């Protein structure tokens, strides 16, 4: 408990809870609808927003919000309307976003000292301003999910039937991708652009082994994410390891243990 006397530790714990809520809710839809790689495409494309933030001299997280949403809309629109499919759309947006980020950073004056933290995460470096942004995005995500929970549930399980019964599937799908984009922004400070996909999927994947009820799945995912994220944060502090990578490693171990537990029960 002595480590709680440090402000950066308190900020990191709050951030861990905020990212856990995000990945527990949105990660559930991502896993159920099997759009994991779309989340990965959005997260990597978000690097363009980080580079834009450096170029404009503003907080990279602020610049990443509209950039990530545009990336999500681009993937959703190209994937649905073009003949190439979503995998091609993901590859295009992924590569273009990363390339723009590199170019923006190269054009920005001076040196980007904390660029590594945006790539691989540094939850111990989260500031009070970052927490405010994360809280606001969490509120937006939660309210949107509450308002359109039935629609999201319908398109997650059977998009074709949902369209037949009158659900605006295309609009709801793009809205869901926008929520994934906002989730990416929340998670970047914790695990970075490269590792976001782990936090977005592993807690929900673990939870799905124990329940198929959506509300229970979200709550269990949030709980698992909080426990594993804080565990990874604590271990990274104790052993002086990179926080983002340590959190993801603990998530991976948690998934492995849940697989072994499920196997032992089935046999």
Q: How many helices (H) and strands (E) does the chain have?
A: 12, 0
Could you tell me how many residues make up the chain? 267
Q: Is 7 left (phi over 0), alpha (psi -120 to 50) or beta?
A: alpha
Please report which confidence band the pLDDT of residue 116 belongs to, taking 50, 70 and 90 as the band edges: confident
Report d(CA 251, CA 187) in Å as an integer: 14
CB of 201 within 8 A of CB of 31? yes
CB of 195 within 8 A of CB of 120? yes
* Predicted local confidence at residue 148, as pLDDT: 95
Please report which confidence band the pLDDT of residue 267 belongs to, taking 50, 70 and 90 as the band edges: low
* Predicted local confidence at residue 189, as pLDDT: 82
CB of 221 within 8 A of CB of 100? no
For the chain, list the domains and their CATH numbers: 2-260 (1.10.3470.10)
The mean of the pLDDT values for the chain is 90
Please report which confidence band the pLDDT of residue 96 belongs to, taking 50, 70 and 90 as the band edges: very high
Region 60-76 average pLDDT: 93
Region 56-66 average pLDDT: 92
Q: Which residue has the higher pLDDT, 184 or 5?
A: 184
Q: What is the largest CA-CA distance in the chain?
A: 61
* Predicted local confidence at residue 1, as pLDDT: 63
Q: Which residue has the higher pLDDT, 149 or 79?
A: 149
* Lowest-confidence pick of 107-116, 144-153, 205-214: 107-116
Confidence check: pLDDT of 82 > 80: no
Count CB-CB contacts under 10 A for residue 113. 7
* Predicted local confidence at residue 246, as pLDDT: 93
Block residue for tokens 């470096």: 125
The string of pLDDT tens digits covering residues 12-40 is 999 999 999 999 999 999 999 989 989 89
* Predicted local confidence at residue 159, as pLDDT: 81
């Amino acid at each position: 408990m002595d480590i709680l006397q440090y402000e950066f530790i308190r900020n990191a714990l709050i951030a861990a809870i905020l990212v856990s809520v995000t990945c527990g809710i949105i990660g559930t839809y991502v896993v159920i609808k099997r759009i994991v790689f779309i989340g990965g495409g959005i997260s990597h494309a978000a690097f363009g927003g980080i580079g834009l933030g450096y170029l404009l001299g503003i907080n990279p997280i602020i610049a990443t919000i509209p950039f990530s949403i545009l990336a999500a809309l681009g993937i959703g629109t190209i994937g649905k309307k073009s003949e190439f499919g979503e995998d091609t759309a993901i590859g295009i947006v992924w590569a273009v976003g990363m390339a723009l980020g590199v170019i923006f950073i190269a054009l920005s004056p001076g040196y980007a000292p904390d660029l590594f933290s945006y790539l691989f995460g540094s939850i111990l470096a989260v500031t009070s301003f970052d927490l405010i942004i994360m809280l606001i995005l969490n509120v937006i995500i939660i309210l949107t999910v509450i308002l359109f929970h039935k629609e999201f549930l319908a398109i997650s399980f059977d998009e074709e039937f949902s369209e037949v019964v009158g659900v605006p599937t295309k609009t709801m799908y793009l809205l869901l991708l926008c929520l994934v984009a906002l989730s990416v922004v929340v998670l970047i400070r914790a695990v970075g652009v490269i590792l976001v996909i782990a936090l977005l999927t592993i807690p929900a994947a673990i939870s799905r082994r124990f329940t198929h009820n959506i509300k229970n799945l979200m709550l269990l995912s949030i709980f698992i994410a909080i426990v594993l994220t804080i565990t990874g944060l604590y271990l990274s502090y104790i052993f002086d390891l990179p926080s983002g990578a340590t959190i993801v490693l603990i998530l991976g171990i948690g998934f492995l243990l849940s697989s072994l537990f499920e196997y032992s029960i089935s046999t």
